[in-house]
Structure 1
Amino acid sequence: PDEGGARSDTAMVVHVHEGHTEASVVSIPRDTLVTRPACADSTGATVPGARRAMFNTAYEAGGPACAVKTVEAMSGIRMDHYIEVDFTGFKKLIDELGGVEVTTTRAIKDTKSHLDLAPGTHTLDGEQSLALVRTRKSVGDGSDLGRIQLQQAFMKAFLAQVRSVGVFTSPTKLLGLADAATKAITPDSELDSVKELTGFARGLSGIGADKVHMITLPVVYDPRDPNRVVPLEARSQQVWAALRADRPVPASATRDAATGRADGVVR
């Protein structure tokens, strides 16, 4: 999701492994300091690159194309597609799906978003789902890294819900969701029709939620600014090298990286 055309709120790199039965997802914290390449802005003018720029400024500088270019520079991997979802589109997709069932292991009370969930199982509508994935101060240590853990747990619940309501086995449901998606997302030009989206979705239908492996890019808090994080270079390269080679990301890649201590709050 993005913040009304300003800076990207969440970025996930999805790699579908050969055979289309497993996927790896790498969340990039928005406050990660990176070397941002030069990009073209909405007018076609060149925005100079920058060192120690927050990752989410790439979207601000040149939209999704610049965010993709920045990920490619970081990873050495060509991105085949991108999908941009704004807050309104996110809510529409969840509502079209009929909500997403999540289980909270601890109470979540966010006075800013008015999200108030007791421990237990809930079916969240679009508004509640958006509040959950944006919650930060009310879980874990209140960090963006903790929020990423919530987002990853929600995405797994979303994928499980897609399968449980039979989207992949019902042409009518798949077409309905794809039709809603064309109005709710901004994809690259190869995914901008119902036909293309349904074909893309069918190619992912063999991947169960339990076969989607999610990690956060290995980072540590920046010694010069505790409100920012920097990649653990060797560990990050382990992540990107695994994806380039179509292998699972080794557990050693994320060892000793900073975390937000919100793991297990939602499942």
Structure 2
Amino acid sequence: MRTTVVRSAVAAVSALVLAVTGVAWDQYTNLSDGLHRSAALGSGSGTSTGTDTNILVMGLDSRLDENGDPLPAAVYDAMHTGASDVGGYNANVLILLHVPGDGSRATAMSIPRDDYVSLAGVPDGQSKGKIKQAYGLAFDQEHKQLVAQGVTDAATLEQRSRDAGRTSEIATVRQFLGGVPVDHFVEVTMVAFYQLAQVVAPITVCLAENTQDSYSGANFHQGYQQLDAAQALAFVRQRRDTVHPSLNFTDLDRERRQQAFIASLAFQLKQAGTITDPTKLQGLIDVAKQNIAVDDGLDLLQFAQQASGLAGGNVTFTTLPIEKFGKDPLGEDVNIVDVAQVQATVARLLNPAAPTSAPAAPAAPLGTVDVLNATGRTGLAATVSQTLAGDGYTAGSTGNTARRASTVVHFPAGAGAAAAALAGTLGTSHTTEDGTVAPGHLEVVLGAGFTLPATSSATPTPAAAPTSALDGISGGGIPCVK
């Protein structure tokens, strides 16, 4: 039926661009017919058992579009990433999305781009390197071979070289992760991320500290803030702080940024009604058709039926472990990995153990919280309401009110202890009894400069140092990160 609304997981933002949007049937056909399709997956990528699906998302460092053409100068200026000759065909974002066929929680595994691994097929004669390099090395090798064979058509050279890069990257990832099947892939260019952010901006994110970086153009304050497209790109690209060196940024923090951004965007797409806005929906589809490539076997409608829970937060993001930072034989910075540990981790994530005991009884609701925004920052009341819901409160009404300096919790008679507990969660000590607040409710008025404290269960603070432990972000909200 043309009026049937379906859930379509199209790609991921730098990692899952267009993560789970709802598309009417005619729009689905428009998208499916216009995507770049590739046969690079081949028959050597394995097939998941049952109805499970594994999708490898590859975000390219290239400053070119999917056809290999340069972008308008104004786009390069806005992206703050250098011109068309900067970057290359490295797969700087690698995320394996595992969607269980039974509808249970999906897992998005980020593979740090500088993991030093064996490269499948020895592309360009290189047996080991950073995992991101498999794409570019195979692209270069194929491009040189085609030119030597007399191929001169630019489009043919570009697409056949890209297919070689895709095949090599997929094979290298599979080998590194222990032979896991890759059922489908999605390839995203850097400009696709920027254009997506233009369509859906402003985008709300949350930072645990003030941070600034002249390389990426990042300049953010602590707490929740709304970003335009250029700022969003800086947010996911930042891997250093040129003003606060004590923050000790690493590439692992950039992985966390990407995960947090995807979680925030999916939450906002659902909350803001983007998928019911014809103009924005068409904008999302246009971005996908211009700058995203997928394997020729990906049936968007079938996958939509399987992955409808992702937009609702039914996904956990995690970064695969590294052992330490080190140098390769050429002196370049790399991540030293314990391959056996990585493969064991992936195996656990793909095949979680069944619970051995009955689940604990759910905690009693902590009460209904109404949130009023007195900061002037658009969308903050809804964000805080959702975050408190994650902490066990029931989401009440949200709205805006006159500006005020401090945050305060209003409570009805007899609810002083509950108000104090909520105030502590919000990082304030101001509470006041208010006879206009309904029984069973608490009312929060957010004052200027409000930020959720890092101890909130919905705002985990990532570790800056390398770690062998899983460090996950849950979907369904706007997490705070470094």
**Aligned equivalent of 2:339, options 205, 225, 233:** 233
Residues 1:54 and 2:112 aligned together: no
> Could you say what secondary structure the match of 1:14 adopts?
strand
- The aligned counterpart of 1:103 is 206
- Output the CA distance in 1 between the equivalents of 2:175 and 2:273: 38
Aligned partners of 1:23 and 1:212 also within 8 Å: yes
**Aligned equivalent of 1:162, options 255, 261, 269:** 269
Residues 1:34 and 1:209: Cα distance change in structure 2 (over 3 Å): farther
One-letter amino acid of the counterpart of residue 105, structure 1: A
Q: Which is further off, 179-188 or 239-248? A: 239-248
TM-score (ref. length: structure 2)? 0.46
Aligned partners of 2:101 and 2:306 also within 8 Å: no
Aligned partners of 2:318 and 2:470 also within 8 Å: no
- Output the CA distance in 1 between the equivalents of 2:168 and 2:182: 12
- The aligned counterpart of 1:251 is none
Residues 1:73 and 2:150 aligned together: no
Greater Cα radius of gyration, structure 1 or 2: 2
Aligned partners of 1:21 and 1:208 also within 8 Å: no
- Output the CA distance in 2 between the equivalents of 1:80 and 1:17: 13
Q: State the aligned residue count.
A: 246
One-letter amino acid of the counterpart of residue 131, structure 1: A
Residues 1:37 and 2:140 aligned together: no
Aligned partners of 1:84 and 1:187 also within 8 Å: yes
**Aligned equivalent of 2:94, options 1, 11, 21:** 11
Aligned partners of 2:211 and 2:221 also within 8 Å: yes
Residues 1:72 and 1:171: Cα distance change in structure 2 (over 3 Å): farther
Paired residues for 1:88-237 under 5 Å: 88-138=191-241, 140-167=247-274, 170=276, 172=278, 174=281, 176-191=283-298, 196-197=299-300, 200-201=303-304, 203-208=306-311, 210-221=313-324, 227-237=333-343
TM-score (ref. length: structure 1)? 0.79
- Output the CA distance in 1 between the equivalents of 2:213 and 2:292: 27
Unaligned segments of structure 1, at least 5 residues: 40-45, 249-254
One-letter amino acid of the counterpart of residue 170, structure 2: V
- The aligned counterpart of 2:463 is none
Q: Deviations over 1:200-245 (max 9, x none)?
A: 4454222246432122111112566592112223321222212443
- The aligned counterpart of 1:2 is 60
- Output the CA distance in 2 between the equivalents of 1:8 and 1:78: 19
Aligned partners of 2:205 and 2:480 also within 8 Å: no
> Could you say what secondary structure the match of 2:198 adopts?
helix
> Could you say what secondary structure the match of 2:323 adopts?
strand
- Output the CA distance in 2 between the equivalents of 1:118 and 1:178: 32
> Could you say what secondary structure the match of 1:137 adopts?
coil
Aligned partners of 1:175 and 1:198 also within 8 Å: no
The structure with higher relative contact order (CA 8 Å, sep 6+) is 1
**CA apart distance, 1:188:** 1.8
Structure that is richer in helix per residue: 1
Q: Deviations over 1:9-36 (max 9, x none)?
A: 2111111122334211111111111111
- The aligned counterpart of 1:252 is none
One-letter amino acid of the counterpart of residue 6, structure 1: Y
**CA apart distance, 1:116:** 1.5
Unaligned segments of structure 2, at least 5 residues: 1-58, 63-87, 139-164, 355-465, 472-478
Aligned partners of 2:119 and 2:134 also within 8 Å: yes
